[in-house]
Structure 1
Amino acid sequence: MTLPSSTRAAVLTEHGAPLTLQDLPLPDAVEPGAALVRIVCSTLCGTDIEIWEGRMTFPGMLPMVLGHEMVGEIVALGEGTTDALGRALSLGDRIGWSESTCGSCYGCVVLREPVACSRRGYGFLQRADVPPYATAGLSEYAYVTPGAAKLLLPENVKDTWASMAGCAAKTVLRAFERAGRIRPGSTVVVQGSGALGIFATAVASIAGAGRVITVGAPAERLELATRFGADQVVDFREGPVAEQVLALTDGRGADVVFDFAGAPSVGPDAVAMAAQRGTVVIVGSTGPQGDGFALSAVMGKELTLVGSLNGDISDYARAIEFFEAFGSRFPWDDLFSQPVGLAEASDKITHMHRLDEVKAVIDPRL
């Protein structure tokens, strides 16, 4: 097979502006440990929207190709390329992949935490005008670098599910692991009704929570949350969130509070509605500094505060196993919009920005 020399991609050149379709070069050869894939599915993540908006930015990041939840079919393999579990890969195999890590920094070697790698390489942070150009999801083809942890995907996990597992699902599952045991019958509050919050609602239900309360908006998102295991929902537009949750729990509060929203008020709300000796897990607060809260409340309630950052290849593998195990438990397909091609990617970003869609799907083959 003759390798493609270029790929069509939707490129972000200016924050808040429409993406532009460009032809980007592809490497002449595939390095040992690397792969060239044809993207078959890319699902947009909240981080993609924050980058497009300019809320998540740093000097010199543009131009870039968005998309870090994707699945691809291998069209070329470098010498010795296997998946992260050592399984042989072949042309035509369907793979997903996690961020590249260096394997030699303090985070990799001493902490043994890939998320702490000081040179962690996110494919969607690759500039589109610097080799290897196309390593992200909104592209017909993507170059999967040698350091990226690849995963051979099972046939019974759909493209959309496997794409979502690449960030949203693995982030949620890592947060639950960081939180520790969800005691059967306990009360769990999920702050946020986006894709992460709704997926977390389902995970909390599966984990044995006796009551799951999902906080968010608009009403359509909260109704969707009820289909994914929410016993009660709280619309933050209808009054102070903590007061609503405390009213629902007879003043006791929640045993575990998960932040998947990242709004400035999340911290004070989480501490206020956490029960005595409860746990607060911060996952979604990636933006500007949030509102302050009294440390005396943390001390007085003997709360446990836990941070959880994204996820690594182990979390990704567990997310794939999760969908294998619980594929029929909830209507996962309801999270996803109908797939569109690269030319409509800008419209989908705008829709997600307006909260009109939970999880947009891009199929560059369309």
Structure 2
Amino acid sequence: MIESRAVVAPGRGKPVEVVTINVPEPGPGEVLVRVRACGVCHTDLHYREGGINDEFPFLLGHEAAGVVEATGAGVTEVGEGDFVVLNWRAVCGECRACRRGRPWYCFDTNNAEQSMQLSDGTPLSPALGIGAFTERTLVHAGQCTRVDPAARPAVVSLLGCGVMAGVGAAVNTGGVSRGDSVAVIGCGGVGDGAIAGARLAGASRIIAVDTDPKKLAWAEQFGATHAVNAAEADPVAEIRSLTGGNGADVVIDAVGRPETYQQAFYARDLAGTVVLVGVPTAEMELRLPLLDVFGRGGALKSSWYGDCLPSRDFPMLTDLHQQGRLPLEKFVTEEIALDDVEEAFTKMERGEVLRSVVVF
């Protein structure tokens, strides 16, 4: 066992604690990663609040980049010294989705077999199968993707979740292409990722929708051409007005509430596409006239992790960033220490940051 300082959520709604945990040496198919940076994501806050499940204590953190320190038997994907971004969808290669050539829908993703533990031997539940608010973490080899080692860890770590979810919602799920009009409802980290993805894909008009003027200003940094404050105007009417009265070709709901989904549905053009990438809660229900669903045509899609394939998308997006075509650095509001995670959650809830990033 290797001792490592880590951020742990001990129970529902309780403040996180920084403690020393025990990390096993890697077994077959496993990799020990020395974490260099890890973003503070809303999903980590959901784990702390018990919004995911009740399998406390949780080892938080999952948007991470680091260096492979050791590998277990049979690992060929990565080797000692490789700079990697971690992912929470290590495809199995054997399930029905993988066999159909759609590994981004893999139904049997891989995680490390061994458990990391508190010093008293209590097993930890790693957030999204990663658990990276720690100096070292144990993951499955398939959760490691090599990227350009010249990239800043604090920047490319965000590809591990939120940014990838947003970029992928636009490019992979929404199929945004040159000349398309795109509207993005909700301009946090995921929404701004969708805006950046739409810009990469060549969208001609990118409409950012939010109720927070600060977030609308952030959205412009990532390529939004127009901003709509939904607290002051009807977003459906505004999006239609900005698209010749037709609605946008692709509308991305990065909030995940029934009311924002309805806005996305009615703000799209006939035969347009709605993409839901914001995560709803279990009690939420949606009501839409079935005749409208039929009559408007097009596609209603959900985007899981931006329908990404980490082995394909992480290196590509890192290279685009290194070329100056994807401003990942603008997502990083602040770099913090491991002891500052609880305060970072507070800033996140207040809407003061896009991303706080723990740097080791």
In the superposition, the TM-score normalised over structure 2's length comes to: 0.87
Q: 2:278 aligns with which of 277, 280, 284?
A: 284
Contact 2:186 2:210 in 1 (8 A): yes
- Match in the other structure for 2:301: 306
**Pairwise CA distance, 1:308:** 1.6
- Match in the other structure for 1:130: 123
1:317 aligns with 2:306: no
Q: 1:235 aligns with which of 229, 232, 241?
A: 229
1:93 aligns with 2:88: no
State the distance in 2 between where 1:103 and 1:186 align. 34
* Equivalences, count: 351
- Match in the other structure for 1:335: 331
1:347 aligns with 2:343: yes
Letter in 1 for 2:281: G
State the distance in 1 between where 2:101 and 2:56 align. 32
State the distance in 1 between where 2:16 and 2:304 align. 28
* DSSP-derived class of the 1:268 partner: helix
* DSSP-derived class of the 2:336 partner: coil
1:70 aligns with 2:64: yes
1:38 aligns with 2:30: no
Structure 1 range deviating more: 279-288 or 223-232: 279-288
120 and 263 in structure 1: CA distance in 2 versus 1, 3 angstrom threshold: farther
Contact 2:171 2:198 in 1 (8 A): no
**Pairwise CA distance, 1:121:** 4.2
**Pairwise CA distance, 1:118:** 4.0
**Pairwise CA distance, 1:268:** 0.8
- Match in the other structure for 2:247: 253
Q: What 5-or-longer segments of structure 1 have no aligned partner?
A: none
- Match in the other structure for 1:184: 178
Any idea what the Cα deviations from partners look like across 1:210-255, whole Å, max 9, x if unmatched? Answer: 1000111311111111121101111221133212222333421111
- Match in the other structure for 2:46: 50
Letter in 2 for 1:79: A
Letter in 1 for 2:85: G
Q: What 5-or-longer segments of structure 2 have no aligned partner?
A: none
* DSSP-derived class of the 1:156 partner: coil
State the distance in 1 between where 2:112 and 2:7 align. 17
Q: 2:14 aligns with which of 13, 17, 38?
A: 17
Indicate the RMSD between aligned Cα atoms, in angstroms. 2.7
Contact 2:321 2:328 in 1 (8 A): no
State the distance in 2 between where 1:130 and 1:348 align. 25
State the distance in 2 between where 1:205 and 1:110 align. 30
State the distance in 2 between where 1:93 and 1:53 align. 34
Q: 2:136 aligns with which of 137, 141, 147?
A: 141
- Match in the other structure for 1:212: 206
Paired-residue identity, %? 27
Q: 1:79 aligns with which of 63, 66, 73?
A: 73
In the superposition, the TM-score normalised over structure 1's length comes to: 0.86
Structure 1 range deviating more: 109-118 or 191-200: 109-118
